[in-house]
Amino acid sequence: MATRRTATAKKMTKKPAGKAARAEHPSPLPGDVAAILKAARFSETTTEVSRALGMRSFLGNKVGRWVLHATSFPERKGYAVDLVLNRRHAPGGNQYGTKHRFVTVDALAREQADAMEDLKRLAKDDDLLKCPKCNLRYVIQKQGTRGTFLSCEGMQRVYRRVDGIKMKDVACRGTSDRIPAVVIHR
């Protein structure tokens, strides 16, 4: 268990460090969220990190090189389940293509099949997931000042030498508007 030390004039005491203190057990899911996801052939893969953040992760079937990934946020205001594509059969990592956010349990029960079909269509035709600028890398979810957008995986810091001087740059500046970044289901 993570702790932080607090110094007082008389002695040192140990206090639980923030969210790690309540990470002992995963948060309960409202309604039948876990049952809905398990009926759709998702299996729970909650890790220590996701428990510490109050999240629960579920992995679905593999579609080509992609894996359906659902994450629940039970401690958030309004409650949410995000359904995305992931590249590896493990929670975490980048989120590729459109994110389907379900803000109610009813919306999840009613519309998760359509959202899964949409993501499977994207996974089968992954040309839509490729960056329109470089056509080499895939687009991932990024959070900007104007909200979520789809950006090339290559939009990360790289160093280049220009006239013998080391300069910061990005590998690709491509963004995609061919598919929506987020679809909210209410």
89 within domain boundaries: yes
Q: Note down the domain range covering 31.
A: 15-129+180-185
Mean pLDDT by 10 residues, the chain (186 residues): 45 46 48 85 83 83 89 70 84 85 90 94 90 91 90 83 87 90 93
Q: What confidence score (pLDDT) does residue 171 get?
A: 83
148 within domain boundaries: no
Task: Output the six-digit token pair for 168.
Answer: 């910061």
What are the tens digits of pLDDT across the range 93-124?
788 999 999 988 889 999 999 999 999 999 99
Q: Is 27 exposed, middle or buried (0-12, 13-18, 19+ CB in 10 A)?
A: middle
Predicted model pTM: 0.75
Q: What confidence score (pLDDT) does residue 8 get?
A: 41
94 within domain boundaries: yes
52 within domain boundaries: yes
140 within domain boundaries: no
169 within domain boundaries: no
Domain count, the chain: 1
107 within domain boundaries: yes
157 within domain boundaries: no
Q: Give the angle subtended at the CA of 116 by the CAs of 132 and 60, to the nearest 5°.
A: 105
